[in-house]
Structure 1
């Protein structure tokens, strides 16, 4: 068994009785007896128990993998048939020095990702269990490492898909996030590539130039693994040091092999240069030997001795015999790595299990889901068609009366000393709802959310600006002719437009916030009166002298008071009506109708591919919603009643105003103005509360959608960076090919000089390059 490579430790799970958990879900949400599925529930319980018993202390076997795949297949079935958050699964993170957790999440996807992780971990252990002394063992080990990389690649893909879904609010633990999974992918590929390298050096026929390319690619895989390891909080120091040593080791091995190629080509200066680079790389590796396995350090020291001896000899020979210029590292012909590995995703992950394998007779949760969705539609329908129209009518009549100074004008006449009951009720309502404090708190929440939204937009813009800056730098470095990809403005045009619209929305929202703040400060003084209760109101409202009204105005006031009473009765009836609607809506559940339809026409509800067709349910919903047609007619009736009362009030109030002006005195006018100010402040208070609630909803929605845009910007930046890297590699490769072609053409036109002494004829006590002992 190999001891100089790493395997991924298996995760640990907190045991649960999966069958019992699902039993409770079936009882509470599916309206079916769980006893009908006793065998399925027991099978899941046993299988889940068996996979939690797989541990790092046990020997990795294909039997364990078979169990995990069977459970993974069944998980897909229950994921499709049960609510996504039915059960909480808890797992420990085991990559770090000591287990972290348990971390619980109510998500079948979380369980699936951890099972994939377990499969990847076992394949990494199987890879280490193969013999590295036989070609067959190296071949199997390489394949297992690539399969392990494929598992972690699948985790990365699935997590990215879930995170990109705007309706998803799942935040997976760090060992399932990109920085960690990318590290594991690159580490597994590095170790797979290392087995290819091992096979190559075991073969005496493999050219040193090929081994150099294999070594460099191995080093590059370790370099990528190291980069992501440093970004992750879950890769321990021992692994980081191990990966660092491996990165430098194979970089040194690549240059050591290139030095042999240079020697064979009589390029003595290049030979010395490659050996110096190899020596420096080994010295760097030795700085990180702490906590690294002794087998890894022994391999490194073996290479170190060879490179040190060979460098000393080559420098001496070049100084005394060949006198060739030793080029700088940047002037050397680059070593082009050659990758022989890639992540392998097993077909088993893509197999679609039969839905009849488990819970065959369970009512599909899609029925429950549609019932919930239609219930929400029913609630929205009642809100849009009934509740909001009623509220709008109440708002209209309130505003209508306030514009006519009612009931303040007649209260001032009829109650020259007492505080009107309506004002007292307003005071109680404002105090109970929070008064000034609730507005101030809401304004603070608005300011906080607004700041978050602006920061979110700024972060989006930063991603675009970073790409613009990086693209411009690379464009200047490589030249416009070679840097032939679209600029940021063109590539990110859709995102730039989105960010512009986001800024516009926030500017409009800020203007709206300012208007609300100004309205609040306009009525703040009157609200303080309300908050003071009876004593404060009594002090604020001046008394007036009693005025004996003549017969005409007394009749008008009586008529007005009667009309206002009718308005009050109208509003009271509406509140009772809305309460009855809530009861009716609650008592009329659409789910039984959907279940009946499913049982009657089960086959017709699915298409040829087995996908559910909701069209039949739409017809049932349309018929169901007709239950509320009688209530819709009430809206028209109460609207007509209100319009009739408004007309009568308007006419009567005009007569009152005409008579009233002849009877009013200064004290009465002051009392009326005070009462009117209180009525107006009450109306504006309710409007401000409503506007602030709408503002909170706007900012919360903005943050939710803004995070999606931020993710898009981050993905765009990542994609562009990958493009940049690939394009730079392509440009460098083309440049190298061009240089090689020029060198070949130049060599064809020059006579090569023969060295005075052949390097192979030198007698030396140093290590012979043709020896069977190979460390690099």
Structure 2
């Protein structure tokens, strides 16, 4: 008695790369334990996959157990590992596209989360098909079918909760080929399996001779559930209905009308029993119209003979009952027959519900009790890794913002203040009327050793070339997308011109499904524009100081000749004011060294700060004492607060250092005013001061430019890697689009 639909399975192929992917991931991310420790677990996992999905799934009870065990193991492994382990899982779509000339290539699903989703889908399909294949000739068989359909509907309901766990955007490259991961498809399958469960309950009620009114309400709910299935199949774009075989939509539509007609017929029998002869005729006429709609759909020749026979049997019953009712009413009862619009609606009675199997609802508990144990001992829960990464982010942010950031802020204040006071250039000019200060000679030697000007020009050329290459890569990637869009438009036009009137190309247009790629392109373009603007700022800085840096990096004689000499005579170098200024500048230098040491100590502490053992211990304690399940980062807020306190002393030291710098700088300002007032105001002295200060500043600008360019080179190298990957992603997306119509 199989007049139910059989759900297709999502098929896959063997994965010879899976053991290596697991070993590699464990080796790279679990330093304290090697992959050899999990040799048996990996072998068991691969075997479970092979038995559950790789050999093809058949509609047998044994396959239910295999799928349940593989799912439970997958769910447990996902508590230990992230979804992405650098392994794809290829699966065929449930229904090939109606416009495809050949079977499309499998979709390379990118994560373990997708694998779990597909396994649950196949489990739901297996439950549903077992229900459909039940003979339903005995009460026990009908009960088994009802339970199987409810389990299937329960799993489809559960899949709704898992949709957000799939990495965002992970299915967009597949376009409409991934329709069976969309809410519309899952809701269609959920409503369909619930409708088939309700139909089984209705059949049991008919077998058990329930009252006609009760049977009518049960039948009406069957009709309503099939109608919900049709509504769900039309949601989203492209709709699920556009992917379903025509026979599916036809059968669901037929059953919607058939059971609505059956409900009206049963209510007419109740009306006859209660002497409501006019109502009986009205309902029989409504039922006859509904049965005609069902039969019209059935005559298209795409449903089974059994379905057509059921409708014809109902139609024959309605015809004979209506003829008898009209004859009796015309001759005997003379009861008024109300119009169809005045009939009270038949209220559907829902007697089934989605039931999630216990083995899926509590997969971990089932695995412990009946599934042979957990395995994978030594793998830390993935939630522990998340918690550790949260702590590491907070730690690094604290050190960067509260300690290193404060150091850089104080450094900048000290440097800008000394620059505004023309120090130490003013002191050096009068202390060494001839020659150059040792500090300046050291700076010049550093620039010469690095071949400063030549180095800067080469780095700027490198950046210019990389920026040009990045533009080319981005444009080439967009050309690939543009070419695919042109191909899509041509195929759309060819298909619609060659198809019967009104038949349209259902595959979504390229611009609708490649938004994730075009948005990435916009981000890359904006990044390149911002980078070009930053490059311009660095180039302007270089051009402004290029001449001075050339002098600084030239030979020593030329450097010495660029600085005016003072006439011989009494020097101000030995006055109390100059000695006091020197002392203050040395204090400032000592404070700078102290800041560097504080920041270095904090960064060293952060690099050694590993809370792994503390987090694991805390997680084990919470799970043991509270019976908690999956590890969550919020469990460790108290631990994080305690551990971050070790950096408080560094922050306090840095803040104290900053306050001392403010005091020293204020004293330098005061003493510098006195020094300026007591100094001879010769133009030659002023010129020498300015020259020395410019060379000192040129050195610092040189260091800034080199740092900026070094960061720029790294930025463009990283960007070129990303753009190369992006271009490859575009090519893969285009390939998947082309495979739809290959």
> 1:345 Cα deviation (Å)?
2.2
What residue number does 1:15 align with?
Answer: 14
> 1:394 Cα deviation (Å)?
2.8
What residue number does 1:354 align with?
Answer: 368
Pick from 598, 601, 607: which aligns with 2:625?
Answer: 607
Contact 1:607 1:613 in 2 (8 A): no
Contact 2:598 2:653 in 1 (8 A): no
After superposition, the C-alpha distances for 1:724-753 in whole angstroms (9 at most, x for unaligned) are xxxxxxxxxxxxxxxxxxxxxxxxxxxxxx
1:383 aligns with 2:400: yes
What residue number does 2:43 align with?
Answer: 42
1:600-749 counterparts in 2 under 5 A?
606-607=624-625, 609=627, 635=654, 638-639=657-658, 642-655=661-674
CA 637–87 in structure 1, closer or farther in 2 if over 3 Å, else same: same
> 1:627 Cα deviation (Å)?
8.0
Contact 2:145 2:200 in 1 (8 A): yes
CA 336–557 in structure 1, closer or farther in 2 if over 3 Å, else same: same
1:132 aligns with 2:136: yes
> 1:131 Cα deviation (Å)?
0.9
What residue number does 1:155 align with?
Answer: 159
User: Partners in 2 of 1:226 and 1:650 — Cα distance?
Assistant: 83
Contact 2:421 2:669 in 1 (8 A): no
What residue number does 1:772 align with?
Answer: none
What residue number does 1:249 align with?
Answer: 258
CA 326–558 in structure 1, closer or farther in 2 if over 3 Å, else same: farther
1:458-469 counterparts in 2 under 5 A?
none
After superposition, the C-alpha distances for 1:464-508 in whole angstroms (9 at most, x for unaligned) are xxxxxxxxxxxxxxxxxxxxxxxxxxxxxxxxxxxxxxxxxxxxx
User: Partners in 2 of 1:359 and 1:285 — Cα distance?
Assistant: 54
> 1:231 Cα deviation (Å)?
1.4
CA 144–354 in structure 1, closer or farther in 2 if over 3 Å, else same: closer
User: Partners in 1 of 2:291 and 2:678 — Cα distance?
Assistant: 106
What residue number does 1:29 align with?
Answer: 29
> 1:218 Cα deviation (Å)?
0.5
Contact 2:14 2:54 in 1 (8 A): no
After superposition, the C-alpha distances for 1:127-165 in whole angstroms (9 at most, x for unaligned) are 1221133333222212211121122122224446x58xx
Q: Secondary structure at the match of 1:95?
A: coil
> 1:284 Cα deviation (Å)?
4.1
1:122 aligns with 2:126: yes
CA 122–534 in structure 1, closer or farther in 2 if over 3 Å, else same: same
> 1:334 Cα deviation (Å)?
2.0
> 1:606 Cα deviation (Å)?
4.2
Q: Secondary structure at the match of 1:12?
A: coil
> 1:184 Cα deviation (Å)?
1.6
What residue number does 1:81 align with?
Answer: 80
Contact 1:248 1:285 in 2 (8 A): yes
What residue number does 2:715 align with?
Answer: none
What residue number does 2:485 align with?
Answer: none
What residue number does 1:62 align with?
Answer: 61
Contact 2:153 2:193 in 1 (8 A): yes
User: Partners in 1 of 2:38 and 2:538 — Cα distance?
Assistant: 62
User: Partners in 2 of 1:240 and 1:536 — Cα distance?
Assistant: 80
Contact 2:386 2:633 in 1 (8 A): no
User: Partners in 2 of 1:610 and 1:153 — Cα distance?
Assistant: 25
Contact 1:216 1:254 in 2 (8 A): yes
Q: Secondary structure at the match of 1:303?
A: helix
Contact 1:10 1:121 in 2 (8 A): yes
1:221 aligns with 2:239: no
What residue number does 1:194 align with?
Answer: 199
1:386-397 counterparts in 2 under 5 A?
386-397=403-414
What residue number does 2:116 align with?
Answer: 112
> 1:49 Cα deviation (Å)?
0.9
Q: Secondary structure at the match of 1:341?
A: coil
After superposition, the C-alpha distances for 1:499-557 in whole angstroms (9 at most, x for unaligned) are xxxxxxxxxxxxxxxxxx9xxx9x9999996486569999xxxxxxx999999999999
User: Partners in 2 of 1:70 and 1:46 — Cα distance?
Assistant: 11
Q: CA RMSD, aligned part only?
A: 5.7
Contact 1:156 1:177 in 2 (8 A): no
What residue number does 2:519 align with?
Answer: none
Q: Secondary structure at the match of 1:336?
A: coil
> 1:21 Cα deviation (Å)?
3.2
1:279 aligns with 2:288: yes
CA 360–260 in structure 1, closer or farther in 2 if over 3 Å, else same: closer
Contact 1:123 1:148 in 2 (8 A): yes
> 1:122 Cα deviation (Å)?
1.0
What residue number does 2:311 align with?
Answer: 300
Contact 1:410 1:557 in 2 (8 A): no
User: Partners in 2 of 1:613 and 1:154 — Cα distance?
Assistant: 21
CA 617–121 in structure 1, closer or farther in 2 if over 3 Å, else same: closer
User: Partners in 1 of 2:650 and 2:266 — Cα distance?
Assistant: 87
Contact 1:147 1:344 in 2 (8 A): yes
1:262 aligns with 2:271: yes
1:344 aligns with 2:345: no
User: Partners in 2 of 1:536 and 1:323 — Cα distance?
Assistant: 115
What residue number does 2:145 align with?
Answer: 141
User: Partners in 2 of 1:194 and 1:615 — Cα distance?
Assistant: 46
> 1:176 Cα deviation (Å)?
4.3
In structure 2, list runs of 5 or more residues that go unmatched: 98-103, 172-177, 431-439, 445-451, 468-529, 550-563, 709-742
Contact 1:605 1:616 in 2 (8 A): no
User: Partners in 2 of 1:228 and 1:294 — Cα distance?
Assistant: 24
Contact 2:622 2:628 in 1 (8 A): no
Query: Aligned residue pairs: how many?
Result: 570
Contact 1:255 1:275 in 2 (8 A): yes
Higher relative contact order (CA 8 A, sep 6+): 2
User: Partners in 2 of 1:16 and 1:137 — Cα distance?
Assistant: 38
> 1:407 Cα deviation (Å)?
7.5
User: Partners in 1 of 2:266 and 2:634 — Cα distance?
Assistant: 69
Contact 1:245 1:288 in 2 (8 A): yes
User: Partners in 2 of 1:324 and 1:37 — Cα distance?
Assistant: 81
After superposition, the C-alpha distances for 1:11-40 in whole angstroms (9 at most, x for unaligned) are 223433544433323322222133333333
> 1:101 Cα deviation (Å)?
4.0
> 1:216 Cα deviation (Å)?
0.5
Contact 2:64 2:123 in 1 (8 A): yes
CA 370–101 in structure 1, closer or farther in 2 if over 3 Å, else same: same
> 1:392 Cα deviation (Å)?
2.5
User: Partners in 1 of 2:218 and 2:320 — Cα distance?
Assistant: 23
1:176-575 counterparts in 2 under 5 A?
176-202=181-207, 205-231=209-235, 233-235=239-241, 236-237=243-244, 238=246, 239-285=248-294, 288-289=297-298, 290=300, 292-295=302-305, 296-307=307-318, 310-311=321-322, 324-351=335-362, 352=365, 353-354=367-368, 357-359=373-375, 361-365=377-381, 371-397=388-414, 400=417, 404=420, 530=541
CA 660–315 in structure 1, closer or farther in 2 if over 3 Å, else same: farther
CA 661–292 in structure 1, closer or farther in 2 if over 3 Å, else same: farther
State the TM-score, normalized to the length of structure 2. 0.61
User: Partners in 2 of 1:63 and 1:110 — Cα distance?
Assistant: 23
> 1:114 Cα deviation (Å)?
2.6
